Amino acid sequence: MRQGGKVTAKTVRLWYRIHKWTSLVCTAFLLMSCLTGLPLIFLDELEPLLEHRVPATAVPAGTPDANLDAMVAVAKARLPALRPLSISWDDDEPKISVNMSPTLAPKLGDIRSLVFDEHTGKMLEERPLGKGLGAKVFELHREIFLGLPGELLMGLMAVLFVTALVSGALVYGPFMRQLDFGTVRRSAQPRMRWFDLHNLVGIVTLSWGLVVGATGVMNALSTPLFGVWRAQTLPALIAPYYGRPMPQRLASIDASVARATKALPGMKIVSVVFPNDVLTSPRHYLVWMKGDAPVTSRLLTPAIIDAETGKLTVAKGLPWYLRALEVSRPLHFGDYGGMPLKIIWALFDIALIVVLISGLYLWLSRRKRPVESELNRLVHIEEISTGTSEARMPAR
């Protein structure tokens, strides 16, 4: 961006054009992401208000968990046309959901979730998975209802967003070098006031925007990255079973979970995925575990159990690229620091909406002087001032 220590107008104009067009292309998607992301930040707090939930029974501390195999038997009897897809544990309440599906790779709305009391084993309610308002907002935010193509499109928009932030920061200097930081010229024309506001809020939210944009790219790549992991892991697991018939009876889920817990001490159960030749392995239970510390609770570790014998096949951490993905997910929504961090994330989200709207206004509004001409003038002023300062410096 400099030649001989001086900013060149040609380079600044190039960064300005990159900033303008990357911003324009992704603005509509970013506005949608900001508007849907705001309620998603507080989704844990909003869900009890949006959807009625049957509470679990209060029991004394130390009460053992109910039998998982019995819960699955109840689910099969209640929905005989469906098959067990997974079992999941609620993070906030002592509840366990048995998720039933018509296919091995269903759409989210096709899954029926039967919710059981974790301690008594009583079925509390049955509901469709993914049809609540919160789930729909998340689906819109993540993939705009287009599945994997929508995820990848949103990932591309996140890349453009990061590019717009970096290029905007590089253009910020020539525009604001002649003004004090935070200046909003209230006596100027409306367009100039919006311009100052756009620059001020944009530079204040720069670091946060880079974090959210980069983690948004990672989240958009989650499906392909887990696909890579399955392609690397499953062939070695399935190879010993080639030529053998599929098991007619599956091993006890309770016993399988107990083996996973023993293999990964100090970790909590998250979910169990049933044998599945689309999502996991046709011969194994996939038991997901997590730590109980603020950071390790975001890092999942799989334990793979032979579904016929119930023996542990492997229990080890995920590769680095999936670890990076796991860390990025909660950071994207500010889930690490409780309510204070969520409020901070929400304020930055609102600030980004201001940046997007002001940028759109600046592009749509008529201007007497083209921005490129203004850039030339400002860079010229900086070159003159820099040259004058250098001329006054004593020779060494």
Q: Tell me, what's the pLDDT at 185? A: 67
Give the pLDDT band of residue 180 (cuts 50, 70, 90).
Answer: low
Percent pLDDT > 70 in the chain is 85
| R_g of the chain computed on alpha carbons | 27
pLDDT at 389 over 50: no
Work out the average pLDDT over 256-280.
90
| 3 state SS of 67 | coil
Q: How many CA atoms lie within 13 A of 368 on its CB side?
A: 3
| Cβ atoms of residues 225 and 322 within 8 Å | yes
Q: Tell me, what's the pLDDT at 179? A: 61
Q: Tell me, what's the pLDDT at 104? A: 82
Instruction: Please state the φ and ψ torsions of residue 304, each to the nearest 5 degrees.
Output: -105, 120
Give the pLDDT band of residue 393 (cuts 50, 70, 90).
Answer: very low
Residue 184 included in any domain: yes
Q: Which two tokens stand for residue 312?
A: 């542990």
Tens digit of pLDDT for each residue in 23-52? 999 999 999 999 999 999 998 888 877 777
Residue 163 included in any domain: yes
Residue 370 included in any domain: yes
Q: How many CA atoms lie within 13 A of 280 on its CB side?
A: 20
- Rounded to whole angstroms, the Cα distance separating 346 from 352 reads 10
pTM assigned to the model: 0.81
Number of H helices and E strands in the chain, helices first, is 12, 10
Give the pLDDT band of residue 77 (cuts 50, 70, 90).
Answer: very high
Residue 395 included in any domain: yes
Residue 47 included in any domain: no
Q: Tell me, what's the pLDDT at 2? A: 47
Tens digit of pLDDT for each residue in 127-145? 888 778 888 899 999 999 8
Work out the average pLDDT over 84-111.
89
Tens digit of pLDDT for each residue in 208-254? 999 999 999 999 999 899 888 888 888 888 888 877 777 778 999 99
Residue 319 included in any domain: yes
pLDDT at 391 over 80: no
Q: Tell me, what's the pLDDT at 350? A: 94
Compute the mean pLDDT over every residue in the chain, rounded to the nearest whole number: 83
Domain residues for the domain of 198 are 146-396
Residue 223 included in any domain: yes
- Provide the domain count of the chain: 1
pLDDT at 386 over 70: no
| Cβ atoms of residues 358 and 184 within 8 Å | no
Residue 60 included in any domain: no
